[in-house]
Each structure stands twice: as C-alpha cells, then as structure tokens.
Amino acid sequence: MIVMDGEARRWALRLGAGAKLPDALEELAAERGVGQAYLEGAASLSRVELVDGTRYAAAEASRIVGAIEGGEIVLHVTLAVDGELVAARLDSARVESAVLSLAVYGVEAKVGASRGSTRKAKAPASSPVAASDAAEAPAAKGSPGWGDVAAASAAAEEGAESGGASWADVAVASAEAKKREIVEDAELTWAQVAKASSAAEAAAPKPAKKRRRRKPEPKVPVLPKQPLPTSRDRAPKVEPDVFPEKGDYVSHKQFGLCKVEVVHDDGGLLIKLPNSRRKRIKLDPFVVEGPTTDGKGRTVFHLKKRPKR
C-alpha cells in the first residue's frame, strides 16, 4: 500500500492530439522530477487497449484516475462505449484531447532548474516529451506542448504565491477560450453557407406552375341504385299446383322434418315423424311453399299455417 501525505502542488495539464498514455506522463514525471503524484481528469481517446487485452478504436473516458510512484504509473479509466460504461485498467491509448489535474507530493531538487528554464520559453525539441510528440503525431492547431504546460505551471505557481489566479482559474479560462474560438469559426462558416444558399435559390429559375385540368363529366347516365331485397322478396314463392309426393319431405313447425310415405286421394298425407311414428295430416289448413332442396339433396316442402281471414 502506498500512502501519499503532506502538502501537494496542483498541476493542470492539457494534452494535445497525438500524445500517448501513459508514455507522456512518464516523460513528464522524468522531466519534472515527480516522485509521487495523484492524477484525475477526462479525455477523448483512440486506439485504446486495456490490460485485459480489450481494444477499442475510439472511446470517451469520462473519468481517468491514477497514481505515479517512483516513475511507475497506474491508470484506471471509465469508458463510454456503445452507450455502456466500462471501467478497467488502461494499458495504452492515443489522446485526441485530454485535461488532467495532478496533485504532486514529491518533487526532486532538479525541478528548480527545469522550472527556471521553462518560465520564459517552451521546452526544447531535444527534451523527451517534445521529441516524443513531434515524432509520433503533429499536435493540433492551438494544442500546447509539454513546454507550454511547464510554462503555465510556473506562471500559475507564481500567481498563487502573489495572490493571483489559481490553477483552476487557468484551466477554466483556457477551456472557455478554446470553446469561443470553435463557436466563432462555426458561426462564420454557417453564415457563409446560408448566404451562398440563398443566393443560389434566388438565381435559379422558378418552375412554371401546372394548371390543373378539370375532370370531364361522365356522359354515360348513371343507373339508379336498385333497392335491396327484403325478407318478403327472399321468401320462397308459393306454387299451389305443386304438392308433395311420396318420398318427398315436409317441414312442419310442430313435427319438424317428416318424410311423406302415402298421398291420399283427399289430399291428406301420411308422414313419418323424426321419432319414426306415423301421422296423417291434411294440407287444407296449411300454405304449401317450395319445393327447396336441402344439403342432402332431399326435396322439402314448407308447411305454414294459413292466415285466418
């Protein structure tokens, strides 16, 4: 277990595009003589590789924490990948942009000479950090190198001793200035695009309006709608000259569907009821309708009571 105790110096770092983690921090620790330090911040990373072997082409690190002890650096990150948070130990990554805060607990004596040389000028190209940044990837426009970080660190320490701005104020002011520069450039670009678009629309010929032609009225007369058939129209027609014969069936309201077995001379019928009983009936009190054919191919006459006059 490593315990960092005592007064700490606060350093604010902004890494430009192309810097590598943790190599850039190792170079800073060697250049500035950092013995012990605790760091935290956030960054946009690419070519991310975790200790367990997982790799991501690009990821947003919403939180970076780590410790420096005797030149050894341990970094833990919380990444936002495909809408999910992944927390793991970082092996290596390339920085697109990063802002870190260091609490330095131990600085070797050679820091004084390094600080004095960086107050008036940036770090020379021969220093480890500057050479690494120049060889691996060019820094983005407006992104400071490690010399800028060192100079800003010294200036902030002087300001703190004289009661001036703190490192937090310096970091906030730097971030706000970068945002204003990006927004101004974007607004100018969009204004130019809008102006060019409106000019192109004004110069373009307007298409002629097409006249709508009226649809010709139909010359063929429309046939009148036929009324829907009523239940009376759908009823079977009465055929008074057609009567049941032997082998036909009669549908009686009381007895049901009965088979005609005998036709008497007086017009009476001997029918076989569904329960196999025989019964003689006369057709005078009934109106004979039909015949119709049921689903089994049987000829059926419908017997309905004759209305009273």
Kindly give the confidence (pLDDT) of every residue in the chain, 309 residues in length, as a single tens digit, with 9 standing for 90 and above: 455 555 778 889 888 899 999 998 888 888 888 888 888 999 999 999 999 999 999 989 999 999 888 778 899 999 988 888 989 999 999 999 999 998 888 665 444 434 344 333 334 333 334 333 333 333 334 444 444 444 444 444 554 444 444 555 655 666 666 566 555 555 456 667 677 777 777 777 777 777 777 777 777 666 777 777 665 555 555 445 678 889 999 998 888 999 999 998 887 899 999 998 999 998 888 888 878 888 888 999 998 888 876
Residue 68: name the closest of 31, 43, 95 by CA: 31
Q: Which of 284, 281, 292, 291 has the alpha carbon at shortest distance from 252?
A: 281
Distant-in-sequence, close-in-space partners of 52: CB < 8 Å, separation ≥ 6:
88, 89
The fold adopted by the segment(s) 9-179 is 60s Ribosomal Protein L30; Chain: A; (3.30.1330)
The C-alpha torsion from 16 through 17 and 21 to 24, rounded to 10°, is: -40
Q: Determine if the peptide bond prior to 22 is cis (ω within 30°).
A: yes
Per the listing, tokens 């298409």 go with: 207
Helices (H), 167-294: 167-203, 231-234
Task: Please list the alpha-helical segments (H only) found in the chain.
Answer: 23-32, 111-118, 128-136, 146-161, 167-203, 231-234
Residue 165's contacts (CB-CB under 8 Å, 6 or more residues apart) are: 156, 159, 173
φ/ψ of residue 143, rounded to 5: -90, 125
The per-residue pLDDT for 167 is: 54
* Cis before 221 (ω within 30): no
Residue 289 φ then ψ, to 5° = -115, 145
- Rounded distance between C-alpha atoms, residue 51 and residue 220, angstroms: 86
Residue 30: what pLDDT? 87
Q: Where in the chain is the domain with CATH 3.30.1330.80?
A: 9-179
pTM to 2 decimals?
A: 0.36
Cα separation, 72 vs 37, whole angstroms: 10
Gap between the Cα atoms of 66 and 73, Å rounded: 7
3-state helix, strand, coil in the chain (%, to 5): 25, 35, 35
DSSP state of 171: H
What's CA 51's distance to the chain center, in Å? 31
